[in-house]
Amino acid sequence: MLIRKDQDLNEIQTEVFDIMVGIDEEEKQAQQKVASKRSLAARRAIEDRKQQQELEVEINDEHWFDDL
């Protein structure tokens, strides 16, 4: 990450620096967005698998037909 030190920078140098810092921040946000999407997909997959296992237990229960 770029850190602006207390220097006398002209207007163009300051603008270039701010653009570079902005690009760096945009890249970090994009990476965080991708990581969040992956985490959400993994969480959903885990929940789906858990639900599937619970349903399999319910369906395979030998007393399942007793309620009909």
- Of 26, 2, 1, the residue nearest 14 (C-alpha): 2
Q: What is the pLDDT of residues 46-61, one digit of tens each?
A: 999 999 999 888 887 6
Other Cβ atoms within 10 Å of 5 Cβ, number: 6
User: Can you give the pTM of this predicted structure?
Assistant: 0.57
Give me the pLDDT at residue 56, please: 86
Distance CA 37, CA 25 (A): 18
Where exactly are the structural domains of the chain? 30-58
Q: What is the pLDDT of residues 4-30, one digit of tens each?
A: 555 666 888 888 888 888 888 889 999
52 CB-near residues (< 8 Å, 6+ apart) = none
| 39 Cα distance to chain centroid | 5
Give me the pLDDT at residue 40, please: 97
Structural tokens at position 43:
């969480």
